[in-house]
Structure 1
């Protein structure tokens, strides 16, 4: 049947029904990125027996109202869910589905709406859990580049311009360096009233904590190279529903459309078919209880189960330079260039391992433990883990940012989490750890004065000292090759 457009609680909604007699289970996709971009997806769901709806959220594209990111999605989603269940073509069963912000819409409906509006199953891919979750690291460090790009493209406007930040940076390469950052909209040349409010939000983890109250199945999908990878895993771990599945591949935020450098052809999963098979199994009660999943091992065609356990591995590190260095926000360590200066005053501490004597499958959490000193009252500590292949290629495989506030000059011992890794390192690979004070422009520069980095107008250099004898890189590795799994079979069972 051809799709048709209707208004649901005033919001523009495209509906496509399967061929044949109903009623049908329904799939709901609520998005700020334009419902018309989901036409192929609507056709795919309908072909597999689902009534499917794509809706422009309030204030975006064809939906009227004021666009307030992360504020009204539970209420608007609930009204749409009630409308769906009143239709003659609906059998009452509902799957909330979405990626990125649309995943937030699906989760808000599942976790914050009234009980009678909640879906029967949820598919959340690369989920943007909330404003603070997307804007800050768990330590509070600001994710500047990602949020500047998103707000420039989508914030406080009914339509989108994905190239807005790139065009602005081409005209003014110092756009993100100019202080204070709270005035970014003025330099961008656009009204962005919600930009200032974004940085006032610090309530990270709200949806992840509510996940424990969930009573329906979840399929969480993410990429090891996605900036929301940790949130995807946390959501899966916290989910209280009867059955929870996790699918993680060597992908970026665009999933299979954005493969990482360590992706293999075997990692190109047909997500549409997999989503539909999982949804039918969830609605019909055929999923096994408990947590399970399939995770790809980057640099290898291997997929393994989420229950695979690893052992701790602590490689020996050798200090190359920068046991004492200066973190100068006027000349911050960049987040793009992996080259390390070999001369001049050190701007970071650099350590390296010997070539790995054997192949290692790194699978699980990684972290750096260190003892260090800063001579400023506030300091960000950035740890970047880089794999140097035997052929000389450099690839960032782990990153962590911790914000510390100690009396100037006092020694502190702390851990910098590097995320959950899932990749194969061949024999001869060396690992390089960089400890720096900045990671710009991916993260806002800590001004070292104790001021908020978003409103600060003054920058101060910070002298750092890292004690190499107290520095430890801890990885999790697989002792033996695990039994491989097929995600197309593992996820829907």
Structure 2
């Protein structure tokens, strides 16, 4: 294990090299969370014939320069790839690998140096400033972003974790971290980097995307795999952002990574697998879209920023239900709503349960007064027994996970006045990726087929 540096304009990037017994494709991991946390992973790759280089991103831990999240990762990652292929332990090919922020580092480095990259692995990907703050449906995440910026924003070394609940109550949201330039940039960042996503469409590199059904970036993980132009494999399990894959896989994620790498020469096309239980029941993530009409059991509610759902549970959400036949859910679901609000700017959250099992939530921000619209939810994997009850709760807030919509048309970031909004759900339909029980059963190992 050796510590080296890679000079780039404005910074020296700290790298740790773990060599294998012979030159080979080099696994590259670039992280803002301290390369020392990946030493065991690097040694595992090296024991299996893959030299590994772990790097601190610019401005973090051992790397000099200023830490500006996501700003320099494409150029810096490309420079590190160029450095690696000149080293005697490299056979001329690089395998960028990473999770969360490091997934963005892996993807941007791979796309910038496609002629030197063998494939890329991205797990629970946080694909840029805008993707971390904005849900696909438009609402702004709050609690996780307050926590991240309290610990990591504008600093070389992490600060001590803080209880962010009181911070999240501050109005306006801009005052949570008023002296942080990064906090201000975060809230104005576009939801997606269009240039990056266009590059994804055009690439022919192989991709392994790994996501968690309980991860905030589950929908982005699916979109990444479906947008990717090269051979793509998607593995969606019952995991959160920490990616504890002992559920459903029965082992750590590294084994799946290694199986995929060994299969690179024979990978073709796209394949998507999803777990429908914690015990390892896997399915192909394709199923016919089936409509289930929802009974409106509670239609009217008030979305009050002073008593936001689910921190307060009273008459601040609508209740929709239906019974399902025996079968399975294999992917993203949608809720079609006919509903009205007394304000022109409204967030509509849909939280789903199958009996007592939480399926997840989606959100749609409506700014034009539309009364008929859809709320797209991330993928879910579940088995339904005969007459299982699907419950959808519709709310105007999801606090503190998301910033409270002020219902005035102002951006939640700068709004100082938060007003209640009266809502009514008139009719609703759940559109589920529905399959007969046991249909399209596969083994998780087929992700490498």
| TM-score bucket (shorter structure) | over 0.9
1:133 lines up with 2:131 in the alignment: yes
Cα shift at 1:370? 1.4
Cα shift at 1:280? 3.1
In structure 2, relative to structure 1, the CA distance for the partners of 1:301 and 1:439 (3 Å cut) is: same
Q: 1:405 aligns with which of 367, 377, 391?
A: 367
1:333 lines up with 2:277 in the alignment: no
1:472 lines up with 2:429 in the alignment: yes
8 A Cα contact 1:46 1:52, kept in partner: yes
> Aligned residue for 1:317?
294
> Aligned residue for 1:184?
176
Q: Distance in 2 between matches of 1:80 and 1:175?
A: 38
8 A Cα contact 2:219 2:379, kept in partner: yes
> Aligned residue for 1:164?
161
8 A Cα contact 1:256 1:268, kept in partner: no
> Aligned residue for 2:263?
281
**Superposed counterparts of 1:172-211, under 5 Å:** 173-186=165-178, 191-204=179-192, 206=194, 207-211=196-200
Cα shift at 1:428? 4.8
Cα shift at 1:443? 0.7
> In structure 2, the residue corresponding to 1:143 is in which secondary structure?
coil
8 A Cα contact 2:168 2:176, kept in partner: yes
Cα shift at 1:281? 2.7
> In structure 2, the residue corresponding to 1:175 is in which secondary structure?
helix
1:17 lines up with 2:19 in the alignment: yes
> Aligned residue for 2:374?
415
Q: Distance in 1 between matches of 2:280 and 2:444?
A: 12
**Superposed counterparts of 1:281-430, under 5 Å:** 281-282=263-264, 285=265, 287-298=266-277, 301-306=280-285, 308-314=286-292, 316-321=293-298, 323-334=299-310, 340-341=313-314, 346-354=315-323, 356=324, 358-388=325-355, 394-407=356-369, 412-430=371-389
Q: Distance in 2 between matches of 1:301 and 1:25?
A: 31
Cα shift at 1:145? 1.1
**Superposed counterparts of 1:130-279, under 5 Å:** 130-161=128-159, 164-166=161-163, 169=164, 173-186=165-178, 191-204=179-192, 206=194, 207-241=196-230, 243-256=231-244, 263=247, 266-279=248-261
8 A Cα contact 2:213 2:378, kept in partner: no
1:491 lines up with 2:447 in the alignment: yes
1:450 lines up with 2:409 in the alignment: yes
8 A Cα contact 1:310 1:479, kept in partner: no
Q: CA RMSD in A?
A: 2.0
Cα shift at 1:480? 4.5
> Aligned residue for 1:108?
108
8 A Cα contact 1:324 1:463, kept in partner: yes
8 A Cα contact 1:311 1:479, kept in partner: no
8 A Cα contact 1:299 1:423, kept in partner: no
Cα shift at 1:159? 1.3
8 A Cα contact 2:289 2:431, kept in partner: no
Q: Deviations over 1:365-399 (max 9, x none)?
A: 311111111111211111111233xxxxx332131
Q: TM-score, normalised by structure 2?
A: 0.94
Cα shift at 1:128? 0.8
8 A Cα contact 1:300 1:423, kept in partner: no
> Aligned residue for 1:435?
394
Q: Deviations over 1:19-41 (max 9, x none)?
A: 2xx32211100000100000110
Q: Deviations over 1:218-273 (max 9, x none)?
A: 111111111111111111111111x211111111111125x7xxx5xx43244212
> In structure 2, the residue corresponding to 1:278 is in which secondary structure?
helix
Give the length in aligned residue pairs.
Answer: 444
Q: Where in structure 2 are there 5+ consecutive unaligned residues?
A: none
Cα shift at 1:299? 5.2
In structure 2, relative to structure 1, the CA distance for the partners of 1:16 and 1:441 (3 Å cut) is: same
Q: Distance in 1 between matches of 2:310 and 2:300?
A: 19
